[in-house]
Chain A
């Protein structure tokens, strides 16, 4: 069986996998990081989004063996080690951008990548388009879009807190 060594949320792991093992299966079943979810089988829903070497990817469409040597961040690794939430997590709570919570980890990870790569700032329309790879069935996206708009202000240092950005 192939072996992969990868760093997940700052911790290195060496794991035996099958060739067909998906990254999401490695995370959920081998490392028991169950915050990353699987919501579809056609790479549509984005519940499985994690960061691989700084880019958001669908871990259900990535083989574990292809991640040898990679740095992976999952939702469990987004907050600071002392538990302080990332501004995106904070904004999702502040703006009620989650209901059942199932799409939330992937949605948050996608949103973080989207904002990081667009330091110029995103309009409401651009945020909506940037979420093409993430489905939410509960919220109607309205509050997710608001949360991301607020979080980008904090992530780019234009505001001190997501609550302040709300005003």
Chain B
């Protein structure tokens, strides 16, 4: 039935179109861009977590060879602070505290890495040499490096005027209903946990190149961004006062993001501004150690939760109290992460009828924290899936059966949770059963016994999770505090001879959009993917866009393209009707061919596009020439991927080393366009989740120095830390977008951490261990074994 041969439409594991340039060294990442006359910026950063700046002496540095300029905040008069894109309201209805986030420190530094001055020179090395000659007179102040320290009575204030370092105190759910349910519960299970702070560490360090055309007055920023239009809006309107029409933002090939490249960062504004000021292009590229103190971090929650169960194990109510670390300033989307991306997920896959959550967001003298792969949903999932295991253990239920008993049943959709979300579809029983079978859950005890004979402690852990993707609709998120719309834009440009250019507001930085999106076009319009080019990442080319994050590209961006293709087909039918002298109602379209129903009269898409651009025989009175359509798609709801992850680990008791030996993921991501790419996304997400569970953790000392400040100290997962991951999908379609897709970018990172920790706890069952905080490092495991056995 498909005209594209070989089959390369929806459901085909087409090899990626983008691979050739990446494999041959011809990708173009931001640092690969060099503009004529380019100078280099080095950012001088605070070595202190908290200090008053008594003075900055720049003259000596400015006089050094090759130095073009040294700027401090004093030079940035008239330039705004970095804006926050989401406003949360407190329990009492007042808005959150929103202190200024200056581009360069104004009188005070608030975290190690806070930018203080910028040196611009002919070479990178000379800029760095000169930065050492900038003398900053710091009066060091006591710092609050943890949320506990920040909330202690009399704690030093990160921002004068923000009492108690409290950004907001927010809540959701019905507290009275929850208390009533707890009053009649047979079991009450309290659980406390810390969700470890992570450093995203996309392999490409951030980079920005500013350029200014003195003849036209146009600014161009090349930047490592997941959403160039958002950067143009934020930086142009709020920071530098440049009208959109005079500001072009290009995000070329971007080497991974995982959230960290969503936000508008100071360096983008600095190079854009300095390029105009100096009349020279200016490039800044982060060193990796600089990334550790200047890219937004992720996670960092401290939570106390309590679950009420009846005697049979039915969940009656859940109450959750969470503190979320914001760091020293509000990063672009930070406030929404521990609220609308976290607390609204606390029903998970369960029918818990009453839920109440309160969240306090706290300022500390640390790097700002924002969304990192999963953003809020991994924190909610870890909490729930550990809590369910703890409840099973304490109350004597089987951990799998307890989950199954509380699942939302497949026929209960749409399902309204007590925390705002309405799930459209899912089948948690199916993903659970498939995962249990694949992982041979039933055969585990034999494997454990065999491992024991080898001196290893083996454990198995499960997580049944759900997430919300494609955050929307705009009207709803607006009412919740978003200062932006969350639609997406797609343009389909059918060229005269039938090839297609797709312009999308989504941005690919590893996701393979150039292939997946081309497959959508191949499937619907019948154009071979070789003849489909996907353009993204340039505000001068793409009409508008909100970018890629939150697994939204296909569900929102793909749906926009689908709508644009509908418009192409509708217009094509009119042209076809004219050419074949039929009525529009009689024209049918199927993958590249317009047909008069019930006849053998047909025109190809190419014939139609040619007629549209060479309108000699054309209904010119009713129809404009050309064949290009744009659609903005604003979803009706989030999408709700979910599934089941099972991890199996072995522990070396002598050293405490945890080896991941097996991992099974069965995910429902909705309709799968390219199974190869989906599997790759899940593999990568699982690696980051395993990293969070076993390896990664950001450590600050009490003075606010980042002890895990480089790849020598922060454990990045390597090939030999991981094991083969079995990935399968089980599809229920999203009911409210035209493609039926849900999103696959984050499921791996969301479902896996509790599965791994549940497995580690299971491995240590003989020690009576109930919980182990992430990361479960060798030292931590050894301490448990050692402490209990001696």
Contact = CB atoms under 8 A, between A and B. Distances in A.
A101 B27 contact: yes
A39 B683 CA distance: 21
Contacts of A47: 203
B719 A144 contact: yes
A100 B201 CA distance: 13
A98 B203 CA distance: 12
Given A138-B510, A140-B686, A140-B687, A75 B25 contact: yes
Contacts of B677: 96
B710 A41 contact: yes
Interface stretch (A61-69, A127-135, A153-161): A127-135
Contact of A96 (B16, B288, B687): B16
B163 interface: no
A39 B255 CA distance: 10
Nearest to A109: B25
| Interface SS of A by simple majority | loop
B687 A139 contact: yes
Nearest to B257: A100
Contact of A39 (B27, B32, B205, B511): B205
A74 B722 CA distance: 28
B625 interface: no
B676 interface: yes
Interface string A13-49: 0000010100000001100111111111110110100
A94 interface: yes
A154 B67 CA distance: 52
Residue among A127, A129, A138, A145 with the most chain B CB within 10 A?
A138
B724 interface: yes
Contact of A141 (B288, B681, B711, B719): B719
Nearest to A146: B724
A41 B510 contact: no
A96 B710 contact: no
Interface in B686-713: 686-688, 710-712
Nearest to A104: B22
Contacts of A39: 203-205, 255, 288
Q: How large is the interface on A (under 10, 10 to 19, 20 to 34, 35 or more residues)?
A: 35 or more
A32 B26 CA distance: 11
B720 interface: yes
Contacts, number: 180
Given A42-B711, A138-B684, A102 B19 contact: no
A137 B719 contact: no
Nearest to B28: A34
A131 B721 CA distance: 11
Contact of A135 (B125, B205, B718): B718
A150 interface: no
B23 interface: yes
Contact of A100 (B31, B203, B205): B203
Contacts of A34: 25, 28-29, 31-32
A37 B27 CA distance: 11
A140 B690 CA distance: 10
Interface string B536-553: 000000000000000000
Interface string A94-132: 101011111111001000000000000000110111011
A143 B680 contact: yes
Contacts of B711: 40, 42, 44-45, 135
Nearest to B201: A137
Contacts of A131: 718-720
A140 B18 contact: no
Contacts of A89: 23-24
A139 B203 contact: no
Interface of B: 15-16, 18-29, 31-32, 34, 125, 201-205, 253-256, 258, 287-289, 509-512, 676-677, 679-681, 683-688, 710-712, 716-720, 722, 724-725, 748
Of all A-B residue pairs in the complex, the 9 with the closest CB atoms, nearest first, are A35-B25, A102-B255, A101-B22, A140-B687, A100-B510, A99-B510, A75-B25, A34-B32, A40-B288
17 contacts: A28-B32, A35-B25, A42-B289, A44-B711, A44-B716, A47-B203, A98-B22, A99-B510, A99-B512, A100-B254, A101-B255, A102-B27, A102-B203, A103-B255, A105-B22, A134-B719, A144-B719
Given A131-B719, A143-B680, 16 more contacts: A29-B34, A39-B255, A42-B288, A45-B288, A75-B23, A96-B676, A99-B510, A99-B684, A100-B256, A100-B509, A101-B18, A134-B719, A135-B716, A137-B684, A139-B684, A140-B683
